[in-house]
Amino acid sequence: MKIPTGELKNEDCRLKNAKSSPSRDNQSAIFNLQSAIGLSMATEPQIVTRRMVAVNPATGETLREFECAGDAEVAAAVEHARAAQPAWEASGVQQRIEVLRRFQRLLHARKEEVARLITREAGKPYVEALVNEVVVALDATRFCAEQAPELLLPEAVPHGNPIMKAKVGRLLRRAHGVVGIISPWNFPFSTPASEVVAALGMGNAVVLKPSEFTPLSALELKSLFTSAGLPDGVFQVVLGDGATGAALIASPIDKLVFTGSVSTGRRVAQACGARLLPVVLELGGKDPMLVLDDADVDVASSAAVWGAFVNAGQVCLSVERCYVHRSLHDRFVELCVEKTGKLKVGDGADPQTDIGPMIHERQLRIVEEQVNDAVSSGARVLAGGRRMPELGPNFYAPTVIEGVDHSMRIMREETFGPVLAIMAFDTEEEAISLANDSEFGLAASVWTRDRNHGEELATLIAAGTVLVNDAVIGFGISEAPHGGVKCSGIGRTHGKLGLEEMCWVQYLDSDRLPRMKKTWWYGYGPDFARQMEAFTDWLFAPSLFARVRGAVRSSASLWRRRL
């Protein structure tokens, strides 16, 4: 297998290169990939040289080791999914929804266990795992079960042109076939779950390649679907790193839904472009929060603190840039610092914990570098701004920083860590211009007591989602489409638009007069040209008289001789 070495962050991804076969001792610890993806391979298994380790980011404890799936295993999973898909689609939407509802019931019954697993693997506080992962997945399933049947009904396409009136047009939404899903680690359960549910509901089979940092959550998802009675092969999980993801893109999938960073997204887009594979790209964000001069400063500061620190700031929709009207700035900053001081950092498994660890050391280093860069250019750290090795390997203190500007990396690059960077503005024009001064365009928020004014300003911001008087939560609204503009991505997941992405549209048209040769067929000549001039007048002449005359004169075309 060719491994694009530049794409594998070996040290950080906890990937190990094993030049030889795993030792006997290790073999028992290594999860059998074939059983994970539900395959029985007739051919000799290929020698896989890369392994990955799931680690508890709070403690550094190894949870489990895995072999990365190679090209052959990815291809086999896709083939298996392709074989299973037609029957799944043919089973009908009601039958499919039955399976989704059984999945929902099982997930609900096992909510504590699943949330605890997510906390162990991704570090987030248990309550966040429960609400932002399990509940989001449950609700995405509810939404799909409610919406998919209607969306899959033929949609009438009435014809306005009188010459087309004998035809009946409809839009049919058809499953792509096999949808590949590549997902990140920050929402290791709800991100793939909501996409898998949508893809399955619309009649596709799915091959999921989860993040190499969070394989256990994906396997749990697969296990729940298996217990729910999803037919064998319809949903496969292939475990691995970037090279495994690349193999999935190179395999004969019919659509890809990718969620991850902008840099990987660019590579993914190129690979998809080369084979014209339709793709949804859910990429990074640098979301601005605009606090207008009439905002409730207590409410807005609480929102900023939660919006910047939830999941240790490792949220694509987190508040990464906070712009506050100068009249409120000092009080706002003071409140943010005070509220940050009350937050408890620790192991997410501890119910007292507000902020868990970051996922790995590399992510922590990015945050540290950006904070140091800002400080060296004159920014002031008012809270945090340091690692917390006393708690474990990956903890970074929630950080409030002011005196930042757009020359600093912290206001331009995605931070993806627990940092609240605050900057004052004087006019709303300036605030909008700062909000739009970014290569990202995922989401934004506007804070004001005047909702109408907030909505007006929202339309001036280039972002896929703008919330007035709330932040981050768009991902938790199953009805809301999720996705960005500019470098934040292409296409949408969630909501009806997310379901639409899981199918292709066929236009079906049938003519009610099968025994009639069409007016526009051969048999041209000067008379026909004049009749068509009259026809054009009938449709588009400015005066009523000319239109009526056109209708009468063009009607002769109905009786002309055709080839």
The answer to whether 284 contacts ligand NAD (rule: CB under 6 A) is: yes
Q: Which of 268, 269, 305, 319 binds ligand NAD (CB under 6 A)?
A: 268
Site for ligand NAD in 90-149 (CB under 6 A): none
Q: Which of 57, 177, 215, 260 binds ligand NAD (CB under 6 A)?
A: 260
User: Which range in 110-118, 131-139, 254-262, 326-334 contacts ligand NAD by CB under 6 A?
Assistant: 254-262
Q: Which of 225, 309, 416, 535 binds ligand NAD (CB under 6 A)?
A: 416
Q: How far is the CB of 489 from ligand NAD (least distance, A)?
A: 6
Site for ligand NAD in 422-451 (CB under 6 A): 442
Which is nearer to ligand NAD, 147 or 211 (by Cβ)? Answer: 211
Q: How far is the CB of 170 from ligand NAD (least distance, A)?
A: 33
Site for ligand NAD in 25-84 (CB under 6 A): none
Q: How far is the CB of 281 from ligand NAD (least distance, A)?
A: 8
d(CA 78, CA 124): 32
d(CA 248, CA 180): 7
Site for ligand NAD in 383-402 (CB under 6 A): none
> What residues pair up with 476 in beta bridges, in sequence order?
none
User: Which range in 195-203, 237-245, 394-402, 450-458 contacts ligand NAD by CB under 6 A?
Assistant: 237-245
Residue 501 designated active-site: no
Contact assessment for residue 473 and residue 136, using Cβ atoms and an 8 Å cutoff: no
Q: What is the greatest pairwise CA distance in the chain? A: 92
- β-pair type (319-325, 443-447): unpaired
Instruction: Decide: residue 488, CB within 10 A, 0-12 exposed, 13-18 middle, 19+ buried.
Output: buried
Which is nearer to ligand NAD, 94 or 263 (by Cβ)? Answer: 263
List the one residue out of 213, 182, 185 whose CA is nearest residue 13: 213
Task: HSE, CB side, 13 Å, CA atoms: give it for residue 144.
Answer: 34
Q: How far is the CB of 314 from ligand NAD (least distance, A)?
A: 7
Which is nearer to ligand NAD, 268 or 324 (by Cβ)? Answer: 268
Q: Which of 96, 267, 321, 339 binds ligand NAD (CB under 6 A)?
A: 267
Residues 6+ apart with CB under 8 A from 204: 85, 88, 89, 175, 176, 177, 178, 179, 254, 255, 502, 503
Q: 13, 144, 272, 316: which one is catalytic?
A: 316
Q: How far is the CB of 247 from ligand NAD (least distance, A)?
A: 8
User: Which range in 161-169, 239-247, 347-355, 423-431 contacts ligand NAD by CB under 6 A?
Assistant: 239-247
The answer to whether 186 contacts ligand NAD (rule: CB under 6 A) is: yes
The CA-based angle 422-425-429, given to 5 degrees, is 130
Q: Which of 73, 121, 195, 241 binds ligand NAD (CB under 6 A)?
A: 241
Task: Return the number of other C-beta atoms located less than 10 Å from residue 476's C-beta.
Answer: 17
Which is nearer to ligand NAD, 227 or 270 (by Cβ)? Answer: 270
235-237 β-sheet, strand order: 235-237, 205-209, 178-182, 255-259, 279-282, 489-490
End-to-end CA distance of the chain: 60
Q: 133, 282, 414, 428: which one is catalytic?
A: 282
Site for ligand NAD in 201-230 (CB under 6 A): 209, 211-212
Q: How far is the CB of 447 from ligand NAD (least distance, A)?
A: 22
The answer to whether 185 contacts ligand NAD (rule: CB under 6 A) is: yes
Q: How far is the CB of 230 from ligand NAD (least distance, A)?
A: 22
Q: How far is the CB of 266 from ligand NAD (least distance, A)?
A: 10
User: Which range in 70-78, 280-288, 450-458, 531-539 contacts ligand NAD by CB under 6 A?
Assistant: 280-288
In the chain, how many H helices and how many E strands? 19, 20
# of chain residues touching ligand NAD (CB under 6 A): 32
- Quick one: which H or E segment has residue 108? helix 93-109
- β-pair type (489-490, 155-156): unpaired
Place of tokens 């660890």: 357
- What backbone torsions phi and psi does residue 331 show, to the nearest 5 degrees? -65, -40
Q: Which of 114, 316, 367, 444 binds ligand NAD (CB under 6 A)?
A: 316
Residue 282 designated active-site: yes
The answer to whether 283 contacts ligand NAD (rule: CB under 6 A) is: yes
The CA-based angle 502-506-510, given to 5 degrees, is 155
**Residue nearest to ligand NAD according to CB distances in the complex:** 245
Instruction: Decide: residue 516, CB within 10 A, 0-12 exposed, 13-18 middle, 19+ buried.
Output: exposed
Site for ligand NAD in 462-521 (CB under 6 A): 482, 489
Helix (H, G, I), strand (E, B) or coil at 104: helix
d(CA 170, CA 203): 19
Q: How far is the CB of 481 from ligand NAD (least distance, A)?
A: 11
Which is nearer to ligand NAD, 7 or 98 (by Cβ)? Answer: 7
Place of tokens 């026909």: 528
Q: How far is the CB of 315 from ligand NAD (least distance, A)?
A: 7
Contact assessment for residue 135 and residue 87, using Cβ atoms and an 8 Å cutoff: no
C-alpha distance from residue 487 to each of 232, 317, 384, 464 (Å)? 37, 14, 30, 11
The answer to whether 264 contacts ligand NAD (rule: CB under 6 A) is: yes
Site residues for ligand NAD per CB under 6 A? 7, 182-187, 191, 209, 211-212, 241-242, 245-246, 249, 259-261, 264, 267-268, 282-285, 316, 414, 416, 442, 482, 489
The set of catalytic residues is: 282, 316
